Amino acid sequence: MKKLRKKSVLLKNLEEVVWKHSDKIVGETLDEALNAGIAPNDIRHALIQGFEHVRRRLMSNEVSIPDILLCLDKVTEGLNSISVAKATGEGFPLVIGVVEGDPHDLGKNIIARIYKTYGYRVFDLGRDVPRKLFVKGVQENKAKVLALSAMMSTTMVEMRDIIQEVKVKYPRTAVIVGGAPVDETLARSWGADGYAETAVTVLEETQAAIGRVREGIPW
């Protein structure tokens, strides 16, 4: 019983120090958990839960994007230390990029890091990506998910053609879109499987899109 209480305390401490994103505290707490013989999957869960705390607070503007990035650094370092790759994403291969003509990749970079933290195998194509490279990326990486980003109203229309070609050739790939000028109505009209308004909702929306494609349920 005492051992179980110690394990619970250590995991709770690890969860809490992630969102404080202190190098020393996170490292020491992680080492203590490993030395106590706590299973890597339990440690992974605590790290993810710590980041969940921060991610949820982003919606209410209690934390900033820099806070999110610092916490992502801590979670990524922790996951690398325990060599656990799988999390929410179950190791699904995911291709992400910003459509052709659009140089804005800050949002995409944040989303890509969140996907990595949650266990997706991310293939980041970068920014200003032509349609044919998205299609090639899906094919070569056997992507379960294609995540498209656009931050300009003049470039977001590129998504429509990308989605249509990918869905014809790879109907089992879930396509999710996001970006400042995009909304759910547009995403649906273009044939996407999901739309993520912010970094706060992207994981849930991606999982929902994967589920729809898997079950053959129209969005």
CA atoms of 17 and 14, how far apart (whole Å): 5
Token pair, residue 170, equals 């790879």
* CA distances, 161 to each of 101, 102, 123, 187 (Å): 14, 15, 20, 12
Predicted confidence at residue 86, as pLDDT, reads 47
Q: What does R_g of the chain's alpha carbons equal in angstroms?
A: 19
Assigned token pair, 12: 């709770």
CB–CB of 109/139 below 8 Å? no
Give the CATH fold of the 93-215 domain: Rossmann fold (3.40.50)
Beta strand extents in the chain (DSSP E only): 93-98, 121-124, 145-149, 174-178, 194-195
Which token pair is 160?
């429509």
Q: Rounded CA gap, 45 and 172, in Å?
A: 29
- Best CA proximity match to 96, nearest among 82, 118, 111: 111
**Domain boundaries defined on the chain:** 2-82, 93-215
Nearest to 97, CA basis, from 89, 107, 82, 85 = 107
Tens-digit pLDDT profile for the chain (219 aa)? 556 667 888 888 888 888 777 666 777 888 888 888 888 778 878 888 888 888 777 767 777 778 888 888 878 777 777 755 445 566 899 999 999 999 999 889 989 988 988 889 999 999 999 999 999 999 999 999 999 999 999 999 999 999 999 999 999 999 999 999 999 999 999 999 999 988 778 888 999 999 999 999 989
Domain 2-82 has CATH 1.10.1240.10: yes
Residues whose CB is less than 8 angstroms from the CB of residue 54 and which lie 6 or more positions away in sequence, other chains included? 18, 19, 63, 67, 68, 71
Q: What pLDDT is stored for residue 85 in this prediction?
A: 45
